[in-house]
Structure 1
Amino acid sequence: MSTENSNLKYVDAGLQGPASELKVSPAELRRTSVSSFLGSALEYMDFTLYTLAAALVFGPLFFPNTDPAMALLASFAAFGSGFLVRPLGGVYFGYLGDKYGRKSVLVITVGMMGIATLGMGLLPTFAQIGVMAPILLVLLRLIQGFGAGAELSGASLLLVESAPSNKRGFYGAVVALGTATGVLLASGLWLLLSQMPKDEFLAWGWRLPFLLSVGTTLVALYLRRSVSESPVFEAVKARRAAARLEAKQQSVWRDVADSKKAFLVSLGIKLGENGSVYLVKGFLIGWTVSVVKMDPNLVTTGVTLGSVLGVLTVLLTGKLTDRFGRRKVWLWLSGFQFAFTIPAMLMIETRNPVLVALVFVVYVGGPLPNLYGVESTWLVEMFGSKRRFSFMTTVKEIGAVLSGGLGPIIAASVVAATGPGWIPVAGILMAYAAIGLAAGFFAPETRGRDLNAEADAF
C-alpha cells in the first residue's frame, strides 16, 4: 500500500486526523524518548557485556578444560540459547502489546532483562559449583532473551507512534542511539576494568559491569511507569471498541496471510542488520583475540571508539531518512557493509594494532548502529496498526535467531572445523549483508505513511 493511499482518519472513533499527527506534548515526547533510549541502552549494554564476556571470560570460567576454539564455541552456544526463546517472548509480549498497550509490556521486559543481567554478575563459576555454573548461565540467558524478545520493538513502536510524521526517522533513531550508548558504556567499563591484574579481573573484576547495570534498570523502570501510552494504540483501541471489532480481531491467521510480503521483506532487513551486529560484536571479537592472537584491550578499545562514533552519527542518519527516505539510506549503508568485509578481514590479518582497532571502529561506528537506526523506524511503518507489535516482534526475533543466534555459532563451528582462515568468516559476513541489500531493494518507501492505516505498506 503506497504512502499516497494510506490516508485513513479516525472518523469512526471521533478522532480527527491521521494517527501520526495526534498531539503529543513536547514534555511527554521527551519522557518517551528518554525512556526508550534507556531501555535500548540497557538491552545493548547487557548484550555487549555478555558478548565480551563470552568472547573473553566465560570460556575459562564456565567451560574449562577445553581447547580455546571449543571453549569459544561453548560460550557462544550458551549465548545463542537466549535466541531460542526470543521469538517466544516476541510473540507473547507482542500479543499483549497489541491487546493491552505498549507501555505495560515495556515495564515488564526491562525488568526481566535487568534481573537476568544482575544475576550473571552474581553467578558462581565452574570452579565453585561445578556443572551447575553453565546451567545457571544458560537459564539466566534464557530469561534475558525472553524479555529482550519485545524490548527494542516495543521501544521503537512507542516512540515512533508518538512522534510527528515528518520527524519519525529522527525519533526512531533515538532507540538506535540507546543501543550505541549501551555498547559504549559496556565496552568502556570493560576496557577500564580489564586494566586490572589478570587474576583479579577473572576473579571478580568482570562482574562489576553486570552489577552496575542495576542502576540503568531502576531509572528505566521509573521512567517507563510514568510515560503515556502510544496515541496510535489509544486511537486504534477506541475505534475498535466503537465499531465492535472484537470478533474480527480473532482472525489472526488471515492477518498473517495478508502480511506475508511485509513479513518476508522485513525479515530480510532484520537479517542484514542483525547478522553483522552479532558476528562483529560477538564472534569477530573472540576470533581476533583467540585465533589471531591480538590483545583483548586493543579490540575493546576499537569497539569503544566505534561506539563513540556511533553515538555521534546515529541521529544524523535518522534525519537523513526523514529527508531522503528509509530505503535509500538503507541501501547506502548496506552497500558499504558488504563492500567493507574483505578489506576488514585483510586488515585484521596484518596484525597491525592500528588497522585491527580501525576495523572495529568502522564497523561499530558506521553500518552497525546506523542500519539499526533506519530499521527502527522502517519496520514500524512497514506493518499496519492492527497487529503491528505482534508482527514486528515476530520478524525481529525470528531474524535474531537466524542471524544473531546462529551466525556466531556457525562461524565458530566453521573455524573449529577448518582452522584459522579468514575466508569462511568473510563469506558469512557478506552473506548476511547481501540478504539485507536484497530486502532493501524490494522494500517499499514508507516515509510519511499514516500509522493508523490497518493495511501493510505493500
Structure 2
Amino acid sequence: MPSVLRGIGLRMAENGGSYIFQTLGISYVTTVVGVSKSIGPLAIACGAAIGMLVIPFSGALSDRFGRMRVYRFGAALQLVLAVPSWWLLSLGNPYLVVATLAVSYGIGVNVMLGAQCAALPELFGNRHRYIGVAVARETSAILAGGIAPFVGALLLSLMNNSWVPLAIYVLVLSVISFATTFVTPETRGRDLGLAWDAMADPVHGPDAVAPSKDRVDA
C-alpha cells in the first residue's frame, strides 16, 4: 500500500499537468481568451514532438542520476512554470500560446514521464507489480487528470474567468509530486526479480541485493 500511495503522489503532477495543458489549456485560450481554435492543437502537436525527444532523454538521465532526482526536477520545473505559463496564455498572443503550451506539456510534463516509466514498476515486487502499477496509475488518472476539465471549468466560473486559480491548481499538483519524491525510495538499478516492494528492501538503489530465497527462478 505505501508504494501505491507513492505512485499516486508521483503521478499527480505528471498526469494532472498533461490533462490540464492538453484540454483545459486549449479550452481556456479558445473560449475565454479568444485565440483561434487551430492554435491549441498546433501547440500540443509541438509539445508532443518535443516530448519525443524529452522522454527518452529524461529516462536516460534517470538511469545515470536516479529516478527521483530527475522526477523531482520535472516537478520543480512545472512548479516554477505554473504561474508564468497561465499568465502568458492569458495574453492571447498566438505565438506565446504555442510556445507556452509546447514547453509546459512537452518539457514540464514529459521530464517526469521519462523517469516515471522505469520508477513505477521498480517500486513493486514481482508478485504485486502489475496490480500495484495499475492501481497507482488508474487511481491517479481519476484524481489528477479525469476531473481536471471539470475542476478547471468550475474554477473559471467561480472566479470570473481568472487564470490565477488555474495556476494555483497546477501549483498544488506539482507540490504533491515534488514532496512525494522525498519519501519515495531511489530504485535505479533495482533487481526486478525481488519479491518485495521497494519500501521493504533492506538496501535501496543499485547496490540492493536480494536473498536467494526471494529471487524468481529463471
TM range (shorter): 0.7 to 0.9
Amino acid at match of 1:358: A
Please state how far the C-alpha of 1:454 moved relative to its aligned partner: 1.1
Tell me the CA shift for residue 418 of structure 1: 2.5
8 Å contact kept, 2:70–2:111: no
Aligned to 1:338: 79
If you compute each CA radius of gyration, which structure gives the higher value, 1 or 2?
1
Q: Distance in 2 between matches of 1:438 and 1:456?
A: 20
1:7-46 maps to which residues of 2 (within 5 A)? none
- Once residues 369 and 327 of structure 1 are traced to their aligned partners in structure 2, the CA distance between those partners, rounded to angstroms, is 14
Are residues 1:276 and 2:40 paired? no
Structure 2: gaps (5+ residues): 200-218
**Contact 2:29/2:92, CA 8 A, preserved across alignment:** no
TM-score, scaled relative to structure 2: 0.88
Higher relative contact order (CA 8 A, sep 6+): 2
Give 1:264 deviation, angstroms. Answer: 1.4
- Say whether residues 1:262 and 2:13 are aligned partners: no
Q: Partners of 2:24 and 2:93 in 1: how far apart?
A: 20
Equivalence for 2:211: none
Q: Distance in 1 between matches of 2:47 and 2:8?
A: 26
Q: Give distance in 2, aligned partners of 1:359 and 1:264.
A: 31
Q: Which amino acid in the other structure matches residue 447 of structure 1? A: R
Paired residue type of 1:272: A
Q: What's the offset of the Cα at 1:308?
A: 1.2
Q: Give 1:295's match in structure 2, choosing from 29, 36, 40.
A: 36
Of 388, 400, 405, which aligns to 2:129? Answer: 388
Paired residue type of 1:404: G
Give 1:454's aligned residue: 195
Q: Does 1:400 align with 2:138?
A: no
The structure 1 residue matched to 2:98, chosen from 357, 376, 379, is: 357
**Given the alignment of the two structures, is residue 423 of structure 1 paired with residue 135 of structure 2, yes or no?**
no
- In the aligned structure 1, how far is the partner of 2:77 from the partner of 2:110? 13
Q: Distance between the aligned counterparts of 1:364 and 1:272, measured in 2?
A: 11
- The 2-side partners of 1:286 and 1:444 are apart by 38
Map 1:54-453 onto structure 2 (within 5 A).
Answer: 260-453=1-194
Partner SS for 1:366: helix
1:352 Cα deviation after fit: 1.8
Contact (CA 8 Å) 2:126, 2:195: kept in 1 or not? yes
C-alpha distance in structure 1 between counterparts of 2:173 and 2:53, whole Å: 25
Over residues 133-152 of structure 1, what are the superposed CA-to-partner deviations in whole Å (9 max), with x where a residue is unaligned? xxxxxxxxxxxxxxxxxxxx
**Rounded Cα–Cα distance in structure 1 between residues aligned with 2:95 and 2:62:** 32
Q: Which residue of 2 aligns with 1:40?
A: none
The C-alpha deviation readout for 1:68-101, integer Å capped at 9, x for no partner, is: xxxxxxxxxxxxxxxxxxxxxxxxxxxxxxxxxx
**In the alignment, is the contact (CA less than 8 A) between 2:51 and 2:110 conserved in 1?**
yes
> 1:331-357 CA distances to partner (integer Å, 9 max, x unpaired)?
111100000011101111222221111
**1:417, CA displacement in angstroms?**
2.6
Shift, 1:455, TM fit? 0.9
Question: Cα RMSD between the aligned structures?
Answer: 1.1
Distance in 1 of aligned mates of 2:79 and 2:27? 21
Distance 2:133 2:191 in 1: 17
CA distance in structure 2 between the aligned counterparts of 1:393 and 1:301, rounded to whole angstroms = 31
Write the distance in 2 (CA, Å) between the matches of 1:381 and 1:310.
23
Q: What is the TM-score when the length of structure 1 is the normalising length?
A: 0.43
Q: Distance in 2 between matches of 1:296 and 1:441?
A: 40
> How many pairs are equivalent?
199
Q: Is the helix fraction higher in 1 or 2?
A: 1
Q: CA deviation at 1:364?
A: 2.3
Q: Which amino acid aligns with 1:455?
A: W
